[in-house]
Structure 1
């Protein structure tokens, strides 16, 4: 498969980058880190109003832009570069994606437009105490209250779960995977922030105690829908990681050109320039894997799960290696609180394990290849 971005896509990237440079500098990330909400409501609104970002990959019939995974990947990469603090991944990618693949046509027509416009936010809750990211880790069983449904149990690592207006919850009904909608103010719902390494992306733990829920997608294969959503989320998160890695590499190269030691730029020493060259190679190889996986999603390639797992594994490893390298290149200032490099390092570390570690995804990649052999 040959892949390259069109002129229109590159122009779109430039527009997104200008917006984020203007509205989401590192100082904005620090302000969001210190806020109760974790993001800037004004920037979130403008993302939807000015860029149509919240619905970039959603059908026009649902208020979206009708683009594909490639355009979503551009937005995610630029958000990673800017270290944007916003509930985009949790709401626009995870929750909206689960509705696309796990709800009925009528339910999509009802629930997707508010997400596409950014007027409402949703979060997807599926991970439980076992810490598994795949469907096999979902054991919470939905119960009945007459004709109504209720949930009792706990979900963990809910991305952007604290600020969500609604929660989409994956649970079991007679052993099969089912999708439920829970209002943010529902009875018996308790949310609390998890202490995590990355203060720029909020994760929540959610408890349900006889919490009323509405079942969605009763006639939909939710297992297949979640599998598709998971592949899309892996590729989107990998793209975000690539954006952060590119930002760190550019800043490390610039610092290596300017920082003088022993009468010459430190970038002229082999220990520095070889490391930066190796990291650039890692980033470009991982970016190629991400773009390949995005194209496979848009083309409904039967081997897409293998490509998505490969993209996540390669991007995570390249992102962490570049983050560590950037701190080392910056030397004594690189690990200080006042310097911004550690913010991208923490995002790279959290993204490395979010949705599964590189080692796990390499196992999934091998299994998917064998299944399609």
Structure 2
């Protein structure tokens, strides 16, 4: 198992970070303060200039043919920047469903270039009550991550994947307010919406899509943790209280050391799971479950410490500390309640 990034993977990280450091702060505040949708131009740049939206897509399907380790690096950098984007819905869930179906309709290419955004209902989160009726789809699902800005919807009903135009007749999307203002959700109501059947996946294939999403979410959380550590250390190294830098106090030193240690452990868990996704797919469920169970609470604890060590400014709307805190908690709950995650891990370990 190779857990240390290669030089090519380090270059990938540097390229993504360079772009996001320049563009992400504006995109974050546009979404948080003004309620703007995802920055489509920036999303297209990630797809065309850097070519990173199809990292886990095989070359024969029009992707980069890299792997889930590389996609985890992208997820980590997106989390570090808190970029509001359709990464989870479009570049993870929809992409993995289409790869699982060996889809050659051209939609994978459009998602990989960033020209189109997709969302998925019926795989992650509540299943809803969507059914096939009269040649169309009827019912509702929600909250559906990234559905607010999606061009395409993939709806899974009894293992069958249906594709429909998110802006077409019979589709109503209602934006939902959530804890994390940098990630958009919507309720999707379908009333006879015309859909194209793309194929079907068995329960094992659908579980693999969930496991891969779990790895991507955990990778994003490690990026959130890393940024929280960096920003907190920078702040406590500069803030003076009672005539001395607060980072010189032992309690603060130890707290920052705990934040760093948790982050390093989380990174190891994610890299092990991402490596398994690429090199030992049959073994993926266990490391994916470990990453989910460990990284979620760890990310929330680290971002909570970030808010605390920033003192009064950490509680203000203008400072970004609360955004990291909210992203960490919402990510922890994206795949369902923590108790269910621990129960799945116990089952996989046969405890």
Q: With structure 1 as the length reference, what TM-score do the two structures score?
A: 0.89
Residues 9-18 or 110-119, more deviating: 110-119
Q: CA RMSD in A?
A: 1.8
| Change over 3 Å in CA distance of 1:61–1:35 after alignment to 2 | farther
Superposition deviation, residue 262 in structure 1: 2.2
SS in 2 for 1:161: coil
Distance 2:39 2:99 in 1: 27
Superposition deviation, residue 47 in structure 1: 1.0
Superposition deviation, residue 108 in structure 1: 3.0
SS in 2 for 1:296: helix
2:262 corresponding residue in structure 1: 282
SS in 1 for 2:310: helix
Check conservation: 1:238, 1:312, Cα contact below 8 A: yes
Superposition deviation, residue 300 in structure 1: 2.8
1:62 corresponding residue in structure 2: 61
Distance 1:66 1:315 in 2: 27
Check conservation: 2:296, 2:332, Cα contact below 8 A: yes
1:122 maps to 2:121: no
| Change over 3 Å in CA distance of 1:250–1:327 after alignment to 2 | same
1:84 maps to 2:83: yes
Distance 2:339 2:256 in 1: 24
Superposition deviation, residue 2 in structure 1: 4.7
SS in 2 for 1:39: coil
Superposition deviation, residue 83 in structure 1: 0.8
Superposition deviation, residue 255 in structure 1: 1.1
1:325 corresponding residue in structure 2: 305
Superposition deviation, residue 36 in structure 1: 5.2
SS in 2 for 1:243: helix
2:141 corresponding residue in structure 1: 155
Superposition deviation, residue 165 in structure 1: 1.0
1:261 maps to 2:241: yes
2:71 corresponding residue in structure 1: 72
Which residue of 209, 228, 237 corresponds with 2:191?
209
Check conservation: 1:69, 1:298, Cα contact below 8 A: yes
Which residue of 335, 338, 341 corresponds with 2:321?
341
Could you tell me which runs of 5 or more consecutive residues in structure 2 were left unpaired when the two chains were aligned.
Answer: none
2:178 corresponding residue in structure 1: 196
1:18 corresponding residue in structure 2: 18
Check conservation: 1:334, 1:342, Cα contact below 8 A: yes
Distance 1:36 1:258 in 2: 33
Superposition deviation, residue 35 in structure 1: 4.6
Check conservation: 1:189, 1:208, Cα contact below 8 A: yes
How many residues align structurally?
A: 351
Distance 1:109 1:41 in 2: 22
1:107-256 equivalences in 2 (<5 Å): 107-126=103-122, 133=125, 138=127, 140=129, 142-145=131-134, 149-172=135-158, 177-217=159-199, 220-256=200-236
Residues 28-37 or 340-349, more deviating: 28-37
Residues 239-248 or 109-118, more deviating: 109-118
Distance 1:38 1:319 in 2: 26
1:3 corresponding residue in structure 2: 3
1:100-111 equivalences in 2 (<5 Å): 100-101=99-100, 103=101, 105=102, 107-111=103-107
Distance 2:303 2:169 in 1: 43
Superposition deviation, residue 91 in structure 1: 0.5
Distance 2:53 2:11 in 1: 18
Check conservation: 1:126, 1:171, Cα contact below 8 A: yes
Residues 54-63 or 319-328, more deviating: 54-63
| Change over 3 Å in CA distance of 1:28–1:166 after alignment to 2 | closer
1:201-247 superposed Cα distances (whole Å, 9 cap, x missing partner): 00111011222222121xx4342221111111100010011101110
| Change over 3 Å in CA distance of 1:93–1:35 after alignment to 2 | farther
SS in 1 for 2:177: coil
